[in-house]
């Protein structure tokens, strides 16, 4: 009876689990409030009766355009809900965090079976055999966070305070580009 080696089987199962976990995390940040302070999603605060601070933080799969559109769309929703015709963007900021992630394969040392290092396998007896070792790789990604301070207005927009936006037109234009939040019934 032949015995199957456990090491390759265990390594294969671990790799499969990691791939499944990685597949779960490949979606852009949904258009919904952040689940915690400093987390991904929308956050807002009313500064005074007509002024709001709105921000949207996206994960590495959320594009810069999606982040900026989400902030403007939320400002339009607030203006429309308050009965205002539009809003002025008084201040806007865009932050980008550049991230580097290391991934790859490395076999760890074992006291009797040797270890792999720089493509060679050293045994406990001092001899070596050439083996292929997959090196670590680095992946670069960027997280974007957009923040705006807006003032709601009705009628004609005030001159010289900021960039005016019509709330109804913006909702109609950006509406198809904003994905709905995921449903909780699945």
For the domain that residue 77 is a member of, what is the CATH number? 3.30.1360
Paired tokens of 105: 């394969």
Tokens of 103: 């991934």
In a domain, 160, yes or no: yes
Please state the three-class secondary structure of 58-76 as a single string. Answer: CCCCCCHHHHHHHHHHHHH
Question: Does residue 44 lie in a domain region?
Answer: yes
CB burial of 61-89 (b: ≥16 within 10 Å; e: otherwise) equals ebeeebbbbbbbbbbbbbbbeeebbbbbb
Structural domain contains residue 120: no
Give the residue numbers spanning the domain of 75: 26-105+141-177
Length of the chain: 186
Domain total in the chain: 1
CA 35, CA 39: separation in Å to the nearest integer?
6
As a whole number of angstroms, the distance between CA 22 and CA 44 comes to 30
Query: What is the residue-level pLDDT of the chain in tens, covering all 186 positions?
Result: 556 555 666 666 656 655 555 555 578 888 999 988 888 999 999 999 899 999 999 998 999 999 999 999 999 999 999 999 999 999 999 999 888 777 665 544 444 454 444 444 444 455 444 444 556 677 788 899 999 999 999 988 888 888 899 999 999 999 998 877 776 654
* Helical pair 64-81 and 167-174, crossing angle rounded to 10 deg: 140
> How far apart, in whole angstroms, are the C-alpha atoms of residue 68 and residue 178?
11
Residue 86 lies in a domain: yes
């Amino acid at each position: 009876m032949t015995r199957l080696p456990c090491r390759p089987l265990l390594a294969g199962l671990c790799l499969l689990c990691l791939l499944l976990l990685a597949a779960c995390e490949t979606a852009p940040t949904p258009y919904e409030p952040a689940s915690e302070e400093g987390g991904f999603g929308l956050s807002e605060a009313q500064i005074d009766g007509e002024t709001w601070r709105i921000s949207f933080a996206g994960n590495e799969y959320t594009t810069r355009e999606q982040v900026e559109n989400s902030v403007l769309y939320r400002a339009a929703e607030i203006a429309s809900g308050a009965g205002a015709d539009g809003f002025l963007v008084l201040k806007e900021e865009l932050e980008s965090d550049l991230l580097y992630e290391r991934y790859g394969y490395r076999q760890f040392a074992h006291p009797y079976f040797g270890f792999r290092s720089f493509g060679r396998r050293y045994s406990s007896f001092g001899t070596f055999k050439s083996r292929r070792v997959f090196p670590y790789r680095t992946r670069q990604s960027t997280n974007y966070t957009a923040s705006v301070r807006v003032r709601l207005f009705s009628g004609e927009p005030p001159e010289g305070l900021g960039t005016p936006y019509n709330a109804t037109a913006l909702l109609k234009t950006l509406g198809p580009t904003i994905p709905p939040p995921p449903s909780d019934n699945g």
